Amino acid sequence: MAAGLAHEIKNPLSTMSLNLQLMEEDFRDAATPTEERTLRRARLLLGEVRRLNAIVNDFLELARGFELSAEAVDLELLLVELLRFVEPENDRLGITARTALRPEARHVIADPKFLRVAIMNLVLNAQQAMSDGGGDLIIETRIHDPFVEIRVTDTGPGIPPDKLDKIFMPFWSTKAESTSIGLPMTRRIIEELGGEMAVQSAVGRGTRFVVSVPKLPLALPGASGTGA
């Protein structure tokens, strides 16, 4: 029912978006103050429609679930590639990324595509937490039988204790402009993979997310890094 409702919302949003884009094109060469105001309003409305569409898409992702496959994954390769991908944004925000990846925790059983999505959500959350003044992003791995723990730590402002139990609620955020469901989606992915997720935070010191996924009993040389 929830997914059906989301689809019903998407249809009129698509119509609104198309017509607003056409209106924007009509007034792109605005020659009068009235036309300029109309162009600004069309662009404002178009931005809001796109924001609503993104919210609905996020909701659909959470509502319809995931089709996961389990295989051997080279966790170290996946994390190194992910950090290389976000390096430009880290540089822009003044964030220094550090790793402590243990060789014995290198291989896990997971869906590489969705594991990457889950860890990326945690990295994006850390970037947002440190977007005002930079800081350190620390990614660690370790064995905690029968799991491998992935720890993603930021040195941002931390989360107050009275808000810590709300961060996994869809569309709840400490930032008014955020509508992300990244953390609820991450927890669901990890649980679907047969793992666990926990969070620790201290105001003024930062936040650490601990993700546990099943370890590979015997390291296989063909383990996947990205699943691509």
Token pair of 84 as six digits: 């290389």
SS (H, E, C) the chain: CHHHHHHHHHHHHHHHHHHHHHHHHHCCCCCCHHHHHHHHHHHHHHHHHHHHHHHHHHHHHHHHCCCCCCEEEEHHHHHHHHHHHHHHHHHHHCEEEEEEECHHHCEEEECHHHHHHHHHHHHHHHHHHCCCCCEEEEEEEEEECCEEEEEEEECCCCCCHHHHCCCCCCCCCCCCCCCCCHHHHHHHHHHHCCCEEEEEEECCCEEEEEEEEEECCCCCCCCECCCC
CA neighbours closer than 13 Å in the CB half-sphere of residue 49: 18
Neighbours of 187 (CB within 10 A): 21
Identify whether the C-beta of residue 13 lies closer than 8 Å to the C-beta of residue 49. Answer: yes
Residues forming beta bridges with residue 136, ordered by sequence position? 96
CA–CA distance, 195 with 187 (Å, rounded to integer): 9
Residue located via tokens 């996020």:
58
Side chain identity, residue 212: S
Quickly tell me which residue has 């491998």 as its tokens: 148
Torsion of CA 118, 121, 122, 124, to 10 degrees: 160
pLDDT truncated to tens, each residue of the chain (228 aa)? 666 777 788 788 889 889 999 998 989 888 899 999 999 888 989 888 887 877 777 667 666 666 788 899 999 999 999 999 999 999 999 999 999 999 999 999 999 988 998 999 899 999 999 998 899 999 999 999 999 999 999 999 998 888 887 787 765 565 544 446 778 888 988 998 999 999 999 999 999 999 999 998 864 545 556 544
Q: 208 forms bridges with which residues in the sheet?
A: 153, 200
pLDDT attached to residue 228: 40
Q: Quote the CA–CA distance of 122 and 116 in Å, as a whole number.
A: 10
